[in-house]
Amino acid sequence: MRADASAGDAGPSSQAGAGGGAPTRPRRFPGAAQPEIMRAAEKDDSYAAHVTEACRDAFRHLFGTRVAVAYQSEIKLLGQSLYYLLTTGSGQQTLGEEYCDISQVATSHGLPPTPARRILFILYQTTVPYLAERMSSRIVARSMALNESQFDDHPESDNPSTAIAQSTTNSDTPSRSLSVPIFSRLRGRVHALWVWVLQKWPAMLPFAQDFIQLTIRANLMMFYFEGLYYHLPKRAAGIRYVFIGRGIPVLSEDGNIISDIRSGKTADMASHSEASSGISKCTLCLSTRQNPTATTCGHVFCWNCIMEWCNEKPECPLCRTPITHSSLICIYHSDF
């Protein structure tokens, strides 16, 4: 009876599996490509800079220019925190992610990141660099003040090693061991370690900066290979991207549809009709070029698109060649 019941329970599923052939798998979004992630990051940096500039203007109007200049780092922290808290912190896409049709995931099953992961990413992205910069500047200032005080006073009186050595020798005697508690000796050792860090930090700072730059470049190299984490904060929080757009064509530098990377099918008919009509699209606005304008490197965009881009970044959007407004050439009576 149990065998029959189990067979009866397993009957519908087995029949569905037999009728449908291979078991159906849930459809998942493909992983986002490196260009999409990089463009979304550039857009987010641009929008975060706009929010920071708005906060700086508000501080300037409320408290004056002197306060706005004195608290530049804090205003930058406020602007970046507001941007990421209102987007990523609330579980929404950032403007750059929405522009590139990508979304954040935290697991291999494509689930969105938890609030703890989002808050951890925001802290790594905004607060940690600010705290590291402030602590480094404070330690350098204290080190300079300590060096000046030691230079002015006698070296024997302010030498921490001799002072700690004398305290340890005195504490070895039975009479002093009873009067000097263990906590005081531990505090003296911690103070000696802090003084040593203050003395060595100016010499260690260049090595620390080189190590940070090396870590950032290593993360960027791994991103180019695996295409997962463009920033160290996202790698630390375990946040990746998937592509959620549908039917978006891939354009060449000339604006022609060349292929669909995710389906592996070429769009020959679309490219043929595009080439036959003689109309190309701008890679910045993805629309038909209005007043085609060429850069010194040979790429062609809309006049308004490349002018707005040049106002923010004086470089070619495709090959990063330095350009200026005066070097842009508007092409008339062209076939592209």
pLDDT at 164 over 70: no
Say which CATH class 253-330 falls into. Answer: alpha beta
Q: Which carries the bigger pLDDT value, residue 199 or residue 151?
A: 199
Domain ranges of the chain: 29-246, 253-330
Q: Which helix (H) or strand (E) holds 308?
A: helix 303-312
- Band of residue 11 on the pLDDT scale cut at 50, 70, 90: very low
Which candidate, 239, 240, 259, places its Cα nearest to that of 248?
A: 259
Residue type, 187: R
pLDDT, mean over the chain: 75
- Check if the beta carbon of residue 47 is closer than 8 Å to that of residue 83: yes
pLDDT at 2 over 90: no
Q: Which carries the bigger pLDDT value, residue 172 or residue 34?
A: 34
- d(C-alpha 127, C-alpha 80), whole Å: 9
Least confident of 42-46, 80-84, 96-100, 150-154: 150-154
How many other CB atoms sit within 10 Å of the CB of residue 316?
19
**DSSP tag of 118:** H
- pTM for the predicted model, two decimal places: 0.56
**DSSP tag of 248:** P
Across 228-232, average pLDDT: 88
- Check if the beta carbon of residue 112 is closer than 8 Å to that of residue 239: no
Q: In Å, how far are 106, 260, 291 from 309, measured between CA atoms?
A: 33, 27, 15
- Band of residue 244 on the pLDDT scale cut at 50, 70, 90: confident
Q: What is the three-class DSSP state of 194?
A: helix
Residue type, 155: P
- Band of residue 260 on the pLDDT scale cut at 50, 70, 90: very low
Q: Which helix (H) or strand (E) holds 42?
A: helix 34-63
Alpha carbon 253 to chain centroid distance? 27
Q: Which two tokens stand for residue 306?
A: 């490349």
Q: Which carries the bigger pLDDT value, residue 110 or residue 212?
A: 212
Across 51-70, average pLDDT: 91
